[in-house]
Structure formats: C-alpha cells, structure tokens
C-alpha cells in the first residue's frame, strides 16, 4: 500500500487569537475521527495554525481505504427457509435490502437459535476520490463563536477565506469553499514574505513557510517566544512572569515571533503592581519583568509579528503606547486618593446592580446584614466590627476612576485606597479577598473576614438573580452563578468553615423578600452544583448522592462524610452493610404502612440468639451513631456501623423474617424497622449501589 502526505491550508484574514486554540484542537479531533470513519490509515495527524491560516497535515496517509466486511443478522431459519429448503421471500428480501448476493448468505446460531446472516463485503475506494468531500466537510464544520459572510450569505467563516492549498503529495486536490478553489500555492508573512508561494509538495510545506517567515506550528512559536522572553529578561538580571495564558495568546497573535524589550519611567512603579501588570498584560500583551526579590522592574517584554531591520523602532512605538496608559493610571491613582472610600459609598446608589434588585448600594446593605448574621451563627465575635466595616466599603472602589478605566483591578484598588485612608489592615485585606477565589484553582481568602463577605455576596447574587427570573440556562450564565457556587464551596472546604447554606439562603431570602418558589429553585440549583463539584473530585455517583441528600446544603460536612465513606467503601463490612440496608428496605416496603406502625418489639419473646444479638447491637450502636452525628464525627459513625454490620448479616443468615409464627414475624419486622430508622438517620444507603 502506497502512503502519501496530505496538506490542507485555509488562508484567511486575521482570526482573533481567542478562537484559534479551540479551533486547532477541534480540527485535530474531527480529522482523526473522519479518517477513522472512512477506514483510511495514517501515521500522524497535525492540526496547526497562525492568525492567517488554519492547517491540517497528515503523515503517511494510505492511498486506499481498508476493505470492509460486515455480517448482518436477518430472519430466523424457520422463516428464512420453506419446507423444501429453499429461501423464502423474507430471506431474499433481506439479502436485497443489504445489497448481498444469495451466495453471501449463511446461517449462524445466536443464543441457541439459528438466524440467517448476510456477509457484506466492499472493496476500499481510492483515498484521492474521498479527499475532496472530506476536506470540504472539515472546512464547513470548523466551530467558531461567531461567523461572518463577505460575498455569498450562505458561505460563512470566522473571517474571509482568501486562498486554499490542498496537496496529496505533489498533486492538487480540488476543494471549493464559496468562490475559492484550492491550488498548490500559499502566501508568506504579510510584511516579510511573498504574496504568492508555490508549494511543490506537502512534505515541503513547512520548510517553504519557514523561508517566508511563517512558523506554522503554534507549539513551536510558543517555544520561540518563551525562550526569547527568558533571554531578554536575563540580559537585565530579571525574570519574566510565567503566564501560560499570555504565552498562548501571544503565540496565536503572530506568524513569526520577534520578542523585544522595552522600559518605562521608574516613577510609575509607585502605582500598585496589579495596575501595572493589568496594563501590560491585558491591554498590551506584554510580559512583566521582576528582579531576584520578585519586585517589578521598570521593564517589559513584548512580542512583535514583524522582525524589523531596526527593532528600536518597534520598541519606541510600544513604549509610547504603554507610557500613555501608565500616565492615565498615575493620574487616577493620584486623583482617586483625594477622596476617601467612605465618602464614595453614597455614589453607589447611582450604580445599578440589576433592575429588579436595585443598586449596588442596596446590595452592599444586604451583604452587610447577611455577613453580620453569619458572624453570629459561626460565633466569630472577634471579627464582627471588621466584617461590618469591610462590607460597607466593599464596593466603594467601583466609583473610582482607576476601576472605571481598569475593571480588572476591582477589589485591588479598594484594598489600596483603604490602606491610604488609614483603615485597619484586616479591613483592607477583606475588601480585596471578598473576590477570592476568582476562578477554579485561584488562591483562597487568607482571612475569615474576606471569606465571610465573599460567601454572603455570592449568596445574595444567587438568590437575587433567581428571584429576578434569570437563572443559568444551558451554556448561558450571564451573572456567573455557577462560578459563584463553585467559589463558595472552595472557600468552605479550603478554610474549613461549616456553614449550613440552607439557613444562610433562608436569611438571604428574608432580606431580598424572595418567595418559596424562588428558594426551591435556589436549593435545587445549588444542590446540583455541589453534586457536580464533588463528582469532579473523584467521588462516585452513589456516595455523592448519599452525602448531598443527607447533608443538605452543608458542603463541608458533605465532603467530610464522603471522605469517611470513601475510605470505608473498600471494607467487607461496608459492602455487607449496604446490602443489608437494601434488604431491610425491600422487606419493609412491601408491608402496608398501617402494619409497620402497629409493630412492637416484645423483648421477652426473642427466642433466637440472632434476634437478641441484633437488638443488643441496635441499642448500643444507635446511641453511638446519634451522638456521633450530633458532632459530625464521621469516623465514629463508621466505627459504629462496622460493629453493627456483621450482626445484621448474621440475623438475615440465621432467621426467617417472614416467619409463619406471628409473634416471631412481628419481632423480626420490628427489629428491621429499628435498623431502617438507624440507616435513615444517616442517609439513603441504597444510593451507593447506583455507582
């Protein structure tokens, strides 16, 4: 079998960097799935891209499909043959429907019954004949968040397609997308390369692009940027920030990376680091540079898409742009401090939070009240005044010029302005830490004050947005409620805070005047988020359902319960206990409720030792479980259950529950009712059998 390399290059106007990583990944996945489905073998698939091109390269693609053979089951032999042994109309119709000849039919036994089977054989087609449709399909299916049309409204893509190169080794494969027909030519770098580049063969493609200052492989561009940035930082005795997202973004913004170093006036270092970093990273995609102690230096490293003859020109231009941004930041830093944060609080009345929920000022008042309530519930009287003060000031920085210009530094500026105003360090820290964590894996609040305000702020948002009738739907979550729920759980787990969110949401509902229907939706939403997050941690469906069902919205206890049960799950006693609990339920569920209510245990008539042993074990372990549950001592709960488990198993092994003697039957059922009550006090153990 002959093997050849395949190239597909889709030439476009510059595609936004935010789209490229996902599109390249999807192209890789779709190409592999498509080739596998077509039964065409290959050595390696590579999906690559730059802002101006999306590329698929397949090494050693077979020139033919694998032959296809499939056996399809038809009617049973009794229907496929007539009394004389000839094929019936049913058999012949089956063969015709499958495109099979009579000679392709045979009988095979399936579970003791003979069925007619047709053996379908198809010779593989030439790969070249399959490629036009395959490649056209890939282009049409590439997923972008937004598509546009530029000539024909029925032809859409992220940006206008300007050329297509499609080569099967040296041969051009005809692919058409809109009015663009494929050929054997590409284009070089927009500034440094040729307008037309002939590609002699697929295997020569990357080398040809290298000569035209186009590094097609984005992973290679990332390595070039990372190494270049590190070298430039080292030259001035510094270290550039290691930011994978910034590195990825820069790699998707250029075709030929040319790192350069710039600097700015050291007086700008008086501005808070977060503002400088935001200005450099978010606005200009620069890498900040730090000295050996971790302090920011008055330098930055950028990545140009143009290796100019004189890189000083590139550097000077970027320094001018950054200088203007830093002048703005310096102005706001000075101007904002002319007024205290406290004086800005009334201005929050003019900042709308949500049309049905009032202003940011209204929200702050609710959060302050809810935070004070939570302080009381947790018994943290020592942080009361700090929480109250920080909650009042928590959103005041929204009215500052700095946050208006740089929204990413909300909270950071509240902390810095609070320090400048002479607020206690704990208050300033809480203003910042109310926003932590900002995303999965982010740092947690270091203090209880910021954690409490952050929990209450997010709880208010979850309740309020549900009350407004705007809960998350599908992939849409404009108010970030899923993230809010995740962050609350991360805080409670990370700081070991045992908060009953049912009660917290209840108090929040009072402040928002939310009705019962709203709160049911809130509870259902949060319970599902908690379940999903626990599943992400590797806990099974059954035990997670048990923990969430048993603990309600008490995330810390839910995860502690799961840890204990997860550790016990490999034990023989635990498996036996779950089986026994299900058996108990199955027996009692078949009885009329009236009969169960009338059951009474007559200790004097417990004749079998298994009955007496179970009664004794229930007396001791029920009390042990009750005491352990009151203090949420899950290890002690498991210890009590481990002692009870073999006794229940012996009971089932040694006696017939549904005995013909009504006294024995009644006693044994009464013991099972006590077993079920004990199990129910913990949770629904039958859920564990679900996985």
Q: Which two tokens stand for residue 315?
A: 């550097």
Q: Which of 457, 340, 352, 472 is nearest to 400 (CA)?
A: 340
Beta-ladder partners of 185: 198
350 CB-near residues (< 8 Å, 6+ apart): 359
* Res 93: pLDDT: 85
String of DSSP letters for 147-206: -B-SS-TT--BSS-EEEEEEEETTEEPP-EETTEE-BSEE---TTTS-S-EE-S-GGGHH
Would you tell me the crossing angle of helices 501-512 and 448-467 to the nearest 10 degrees? 60
Query: pLDDT tens digits for 35-65?
Result: 999 999 999 999 999 999 999 999 999 989 8
Beta-ladder partners of 6: 58, 168
Give residue limits of the domains in the chain.
Answer: 3-65+126-210, 68-122, 218-320, 343-536, 569-690
Q: Answer whether 299's CB lies under 8 Å from 277's CB.
A: no
Q: Which of 554, 281, 275 is nearest to 413 (CA)?
A: 275
Query: pLDDT tens digits for 565-593?
Result: 989 988 999 999 999 999 999 999 988 87
pLDDT < 50 stretches in the chain: none
**Which one-letter DSSP state was computed for residue 87?**
B
The rounded distance, in Å, linking the Cα atoms of 203 and 168 is: 10
In degrees and rounded to multiples of 5, residue 168 shows phi and psi of -110, 90
Residue 482 CB burial class (10 angstroms; 0-12, 13-18, ≥19): middle
Query: pLDDT tens digits for 481-523?
Result: 999 999 999 999 999 999 999 999 999 999 999 999 999 999 9
289 CB-near residues (< 8 Å, 6+ apart): 233, 236, 238, 239, 240, 241, 296, 297, 299, 300, 301
Q: 445 to each of 294, 407, 420, 494, how far by Cα in Å?
A: 21, 20, 21, 9
Q: In CATH, what is the architecture of 569-690?
A: Orthogonal Bundle (1.10)
Q: Which of 453, 481, 452 is nearest to 363 (CA)?
A: 453
* Res 1: pLDDT: 62
Q: Which residue is associated with the tokens 């609990």?
A: 581
């Amino acid at each position: 079998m002959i093997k050849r390399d395949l190239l597909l290059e889709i030439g476009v106007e510059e595609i936004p960097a935010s789209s490229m990583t996902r599109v390249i990944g999807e192209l890789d996945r779709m190409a592999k799935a498509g080739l596998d489905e077509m039964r065409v073998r290959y050595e390696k698939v590579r999906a690559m891209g730059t802002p101006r091109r999306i590329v698929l390269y397949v090494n050693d693609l077979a020139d033919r499909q694998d032959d296809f053979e499939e056996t399809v089951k038809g009617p049973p032999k009794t229907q496929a043959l007539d009394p004389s042994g000839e094929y019936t109309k049913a058999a012949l119709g089956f063969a015709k429907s499958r495109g099979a000849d009579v000679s392709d039919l045979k009988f095979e036994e399936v579970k003791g019954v003979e069925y007619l089977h047709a053996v379908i054989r198809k010779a593989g087609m030439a790969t070249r004949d399959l490629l036009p449709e395959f490649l056209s399909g890939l282009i049409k299916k590439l997923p972008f968040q937004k598509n546009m049309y530029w000539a024909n409204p029925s032809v859409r893509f992220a940006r206008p397609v300007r050329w297509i190169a499609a080569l099967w080794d040296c041969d051009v494969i005809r692919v058409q997308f809109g009015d663009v027909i494929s050929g054997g030519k590409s284009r070089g770098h927009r500034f440094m390369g040729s307008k037309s580049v002939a590609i002699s063969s697929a295997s020569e493609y990357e080398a040809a692009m290298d000569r035209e200052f186009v590094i097609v492989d984005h992973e290679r561009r990332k390595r070039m940027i990372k190494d270049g940035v590190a070298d430039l930082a080292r030259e001035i005795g510094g270290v550039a920030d290691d930011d994978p997202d910034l590195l990825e973004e820069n790699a998707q913004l250029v075709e030929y990376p040319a790192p350069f170093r710039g600097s700015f006036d050291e007086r700008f270092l008086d501005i808070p680091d977060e503002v400088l970093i935001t200005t450099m990273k978010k606005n200009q995609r620069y890498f900040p540079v730090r000295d050996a102690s971790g302090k920011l230096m008055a330098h930055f490293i950028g990545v140009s898409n143009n290796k100019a003859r004189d890189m000083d020109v590139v550097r000077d231009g970027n320094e001018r742009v950054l200088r203007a941004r830093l002048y703005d930041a310096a102005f706001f830093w000075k101007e904002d401090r002319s007024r205290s944060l406290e004086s800005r609080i009334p201005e929050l009345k003019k900042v709308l939070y949500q049309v049905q929920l009032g202003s940011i000022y209204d929200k702050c008042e609710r959060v302050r009240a809810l935070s004070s309530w939570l302080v009381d519930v947790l018994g943290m009287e020592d942080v009361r005044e700090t929480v109250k003060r920080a909650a009042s000031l928590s959103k005041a920085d929204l009215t500052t010029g700095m946050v208006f210009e740089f929204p990413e530094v909300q909270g950071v500026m509240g902390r810095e302005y609070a320090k400048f105003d002479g607020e206690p360090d704990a208050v300033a820290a809480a203003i910042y830490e109310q926003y932590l964590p900002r995303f999965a894996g982010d740092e947690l609040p270091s203090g209880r004050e910021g954690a409490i305000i952050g929990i209450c702020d997010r709880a208010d948002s979850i309740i309020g947005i549900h009350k407004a009738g705007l809960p998350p739907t599908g992939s849409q979550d404009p108010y970030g409620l899923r993230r809010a729920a995740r962050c609350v759980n991360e805080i409670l787990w990370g700081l070991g805070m045992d908060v009953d969110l049912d009660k917290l949401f209840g108090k929040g509902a009072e402040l928002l005047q939310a009705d019962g229907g709203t709160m049911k939706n809130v509870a259902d939403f949060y319970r599902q988020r908690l379940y999903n997050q626990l599943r992400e941690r590797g806990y099974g469906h059954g035990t997670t359902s048990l923990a969430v069902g048993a603990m309600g919205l008490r995330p810390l206890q839910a995860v502690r319960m799961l840890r204990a049960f997860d550790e016990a799950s490999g034990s023989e006693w635990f498996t036996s206990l779950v089986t026994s609990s299900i058996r108990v339920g199955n027996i009692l569920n078949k009885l009329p409720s009236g009969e169960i209510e009338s059951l009474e245990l007559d200790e004097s008539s417990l004749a079998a030792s298994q009955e007496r042993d179970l009664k004794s074990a229930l007396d001791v372990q029920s009390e042990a479980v009750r005491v352990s549950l009151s203090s949420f001592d899950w290890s002690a709960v498991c210890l009590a259950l481990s002692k009870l488990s073999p006794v229940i198993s012996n009971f089932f092994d040694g006696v017939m529950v549904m005995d013909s003697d009504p006294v024995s039957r009644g006693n044994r059922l009464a013991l099972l009712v006590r077993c079920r009550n004990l199990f129910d006090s913990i949770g629904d153990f039958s859920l564990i059998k679900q996985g």
